[in-house]
Amino acid sequence: MPSAEDGWAFETRQIRAGYKADPGWGANVPPIAQSAAFVYPSGEDAAARFMLDAPGHTYTRVNNPSAAALERRIADLEGGVGALALASGQAATTLAVLGVARAGDHVVSSASLYGATYTLFASTLRDLGIAFTFVQDPTDLDEWRAAVRPETRAFFGESIPNPRGDVLDFAGVAGVAHEAGVPLIVDNTIATPYLVRPIEHGADIVVHSATKYLAGHGSAVAGLIVDGGTFDWAAHAGKYPQLTSAEHSGFAGTDFAEKFGRRAFIQRTRSKLAADLGPAIAPFTAFLVLQGSRRCRCGWTGTCRTRRRWRRGWTPTTRCSACTTRDCRPRRGTTCSSATCRGARPRCWRSTSTAAPRPGGGSSRPWSCSTTCRTSATSGRWSCTRRRRRTCR
Ligand SMILES: Cc1ncc(COP(=O)(O)O)c(C=O)c1O
């Protein structure tokens, strides 16, 4: 099946990675494996699968063919060694943090976070005994450094934080995390692997709310954890006994770092945390996210277009001067095409305000306009050109 390792382009992998037409029917699209459990060839084989000594599916709370196809695809697009699909983005963040931090441990997080992630950290996980320090200015690497404690077990940030949009300095923050001997976890929901792959810039673990742009159609709630396989757990064995000792792993005397090497984190998160806590993705949901990921490049390009407009101060209610139609915004260099105001003078579509609120929240910068609006001598219609700089009305 096409993979990054074999040199296939991103656009091919978003359609093909993670799934090879099944040998039975030759189905081109991953089928929905709507089954709770699976048939084992023998009792010995079942025991070996449950003890992680043999490959094969066991039970849909832990693994499932539809979920596995989605996991392989997103791991491939993000450049990770493995992934775990879950019931929601919140489940992915929760399990990613619980995979590295236990009661008494501490996590340093950017304060620029999706609201529910903030409350997850500041109340629910805190109540379970994990302490958090929130870095108020995530661009200040010294603030990250100063927050580190002996019991720190991870750094956390969002690539393009929801809603503030202040992009994380992956390499800088990963550098400080690695100096402190801990992994960097990045929520890449808003950027998607089409725009940025945090693992390529130093992140060790990536989480997603697949509900948003990975699925792209708004028909499913889902999440994923991707393991970059980059963090050397064994080199920091004292901090991560759950991953590096048979005694503390909580799973049948398994030393995950020894047995699974670079895949230790994702394998334990699946076999121990997903199995114990139960936030499994439904096979049908995995299918829906896979369907969305096939068209993600177009969807994600559309997202970029929208975000570029936001940066320019566009608001969905902008309208031209004479128009009563909502959002009749004429494109630069064209006249307004709305039937109710055709030919009327187009209003500059950059914001006139020095502090216009952006959709989705966050602050905006003052804009001045470089668009000049003129009327045509022949048609009498107005058009906009970018001739000279002037202030917006
Ligand atoms: C950046 C980010 N992370 C996580 C989540 C949580 O995802 P879910 O709603 O799939 O649980 C969201 C949801 O909006 C989000 O925007």
Place of tokens 């670079």: 262
Give the torsion sign (CA, 162, 117, 168, 217): negative
Of 140, 137, 101, the closest CA to residue 121 belongs to: 101
Query: Length of the chain in residues, anyone?
Result: 393
Residue to mutate, 189, 224, 281, ligand 1, most ligand atoms under 8 Å from C-beta: 189
Question: How far apart (Å, rounded) are the C-alpha atoms in residues 237 and 242?
Answer: 9
- Characterize the bridge pairing of strands 372-375 and 382-385: antiparallel
Contacts of 235 (CB under 8 A, 6+ apart): none
Tell me the best of 74, 94, 206, 209 to mutate to test the pocket of ligand 1, counting ligand atoms within 8 Å of each CB and taking the most.
209
Q: Structural domain boundaries of the chain?
A: 10-296, 315-393
Cα distance between residue 12 and residue 229, in whole Å: 24
The token duo for 203 is 């992140």
Q: Please enumerate in sequence order all residues whose Cβ is within 8 A of that of 135, keeping only pairs 6 or more positions apart, or say none.
A: 108, 109, 110, 111, 143, 144, 147
Walk along the chain (393 residues) and give the pLDDT tens digit of each residue: 888 888 888 988 998 899 988 778 889 889 999 999 999 999 999 999 999 999 999 999 999 999 999 999 999 999 999 999 999 999 999 999 999 999 999 999 999 999 999 999 999 999 999 999 999 999 999 999 999 999 999 999 999 999 999 999 999 999 999 999 999 999 999 999 999 999 999 999 999 999 999 999 999 999 999 999 999 999 999 999 999 999 999 999 999 999 999 999 999 999 999 999 999 999 999 999 999 987 655 455 555 565 555 555 544 334 444 444 444 444 544 554 554 444 444 444 443 333 444 444 443 333 334 444 555 666 666 555 543 333 333
Q: How far apart are CA 162 and CA 15, in angstroms?
A: 27
- pTM metric for this prediction: 0.79
- Ligand 1, atom 10, residue with closest C-alpha: 89
For a pocket test of ligand 1, which of 88, 113, 114, 187 has the largest count of ligand atoms closer than 8 A to its C-beta? 114
Rounded-to-integer distance, Cα 81 and Cα 106, Å: 26
**3-state helix/strand/coil string of 148-212:** CCCCEEEEEEECCCCCCCCCCCHHHHHHHHHHCCCCEEEECCCCHHHHCCHHHHCCCEEEEECCC
The answer for 170, left when phi > 0, alpha when psi is -120 to 50, beta otherwise, is: alpha
Name the 3-class secondary structure at 125: helix
Q: For residue 215, give both structure tokens.
A: 């699925």
Q: What are phi and psi of 385, to 5 degrees?
A: -130, 165
3-state secondary structure of 373: strand
DSSP 84: E
Q: Are 38 and 58 in contact (CB under 8 A)?
A: yes
Ligand 1 pocket residues where CB is under 6 Å: 88-90, 114, 116-117, 158, 162, 187, 189-190, 209, 211-212, 221, 223
User: How is residue 254 written in tokens?
Assistant: 């398994």
Task: State the pLDDT at residue 380.
Answer: 60
Per-residue pLDDT reduced to its tens digit, 174-232: 999 999 999 999 999 999 999 999 999 999 999 999 999 999 999 999 999 999 999 99
Q: What is the CATH number of domain 10-296?
A: 3.40.640.10
Rounded to the nearest whole angstrom, what is the distance from the C-alpha of residue 89 to the centroid of ligand 1? 5
Closest listed residue to residue 131, CA positions, set 102, 110, 158? 102
